[in-house]
């Protein structure tokens, strides 16, 4: 799209949080990832940014980064989760920044954020998650992940499900292909889609005071995933529609990228 993209050199290690925006770089954006080491994928063109490049660039931070550690003149904040979910800090709007969000649920209730600023950039591992059509599929697996941070979601101390937290994509794909049910305590994760690709039925564990309508309203995945065990039959019936939805989302993704570029390049009041 004619926009150069770079990865920033290290500033300070913040966490082991791996943002989903790696794919964004491949579509020619600048971003900063806070990691002790920067691991780049050979299939993506992501050179390391020099100080001179950073000084004249639009820098994209996730919501977990405080302030502007790169001292960038133009800052975009991309909500990859609800503000304060990881650090408990309340959302403080900065009029000098442009705010985008990955899911509608992440910007819900924040009136200062434009509803047009949805930015969903995905790099989906279709090369790994495939249905092997194995016989004797049985049992279940479970993922907790961000569910640990919600006091409203009941997390079983012990059960027969295989816990897949911390496993590699290859390991998880193998378990999805062997398991019948995938219990997910993380309300908003692409692993539900990956489970469907492998023929496993994803069941999101419901959260108190969050109806299935409210959950789906804020999540990009509308079909193929059960919100509670009562929806398992419905999830099975709509799994093919989910796969079709994700295929069609590529066109929407391109439109969002173009809208992102137009907005940030035309903005003049960066502070």
At 266, phi and psi to the nearest 5?
A: -90, -15
On whether the pTM is more than 0.85, the answer is no
Above 80 in pLDDT, residue 240?
A: yes
Closest listed residue to residue 179, CA positions, set 132, 126, 139, 216: 139
What is the pLDDT of the chain when averaged over all its residues? Answer: 82
Render pLDDT for 205-227 as a digit per residue (tens, 0 to 9).
998 888 999 988 877 788 999 99
Collapsed DSSP state (helix, strand, coil) of residue 204: strand
The more confidently predicted of residues 45 and 36 is 45
Render pLDDT for 186-209 as a digit per residue (tens, 0 to 9).
888 999 999 999 999 999 999 888
Instruction: For residues 126 and 173, give the distance between their C-alpha atoms in angstroms, rounded to a whole number.
Output: 10
DSSP letters spanning 37-86: S----TTS--PBPPHHHHHTSEEEEETTS-S-TT--SEEEEEESS-TTTT
Above 60 in pLDDT, residue 71?
A: yes
- Lowest-confidence range among 18-27, 100-109, 110-119? 18-27
Render pLDDT for 136-169 as a digit per residue (tens, 0 to 9).
999 999 999 877 666 556 667 778 899 999 999 9
pLDDT band at 66, cuts 50/70/90?
Answer: confident
At 99, phi and psi to the nearest 5?
A: -110, 125
């Amino acid at each position: 799209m004619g926009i150069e993209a770079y990865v920033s050199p290290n500033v300070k290690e913040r966490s082991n949080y791996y943002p989903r925006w790696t794919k964004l770089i491949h579509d020619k954006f600048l971003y900063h990832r806070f990691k002790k080491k920067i691991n780049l994928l050979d299939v993506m063109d992501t050179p390391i940014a020099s100080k001179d490049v950073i000084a004249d660039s639009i820098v994209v931070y996730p919501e977990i980064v405080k302030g502007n550690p790169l001292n960038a003149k133009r800052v975009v904040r991309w909500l990859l989760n609800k503000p304060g979910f990881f650090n408990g800090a309340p959302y403080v709007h900065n009029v000098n920044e442009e705010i985008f969000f990955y899911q509608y649920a992440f910007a819900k209730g924040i009136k200062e954020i434009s509803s047009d600023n949805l930015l969903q950039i995905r790099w989906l591992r279709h090369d790994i998650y495939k249905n092997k059509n194995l016989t004797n599929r049985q049992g279940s697996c479970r993922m907790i992940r961000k569910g640990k941070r919600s006091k409203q979601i009941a997390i079983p101390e012990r059960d027969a499900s295989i816990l897949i937290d911390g496993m590699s994509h290859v390991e998880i794909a193998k378990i999805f292909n062997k398991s019948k049910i995938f219990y997910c305590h993380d309300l908003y994760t692409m692993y539900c889609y990956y489970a469907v690709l492998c023929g496993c039925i994803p069941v999101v564990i419901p959260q108190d005071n969050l109806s299935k309508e409210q959950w789906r309203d804020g999540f990009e995945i509308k079909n193929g995933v059960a919100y509670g065990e009562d929806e398992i039959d419905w999830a099975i019936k709509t799994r093919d529609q989910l796969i079709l939805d994700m295929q069609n989302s590529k066109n929407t993704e391109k439109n969002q990228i173009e809208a992102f570029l137009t907005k940030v390049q035309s903005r003049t009041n960066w502070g």
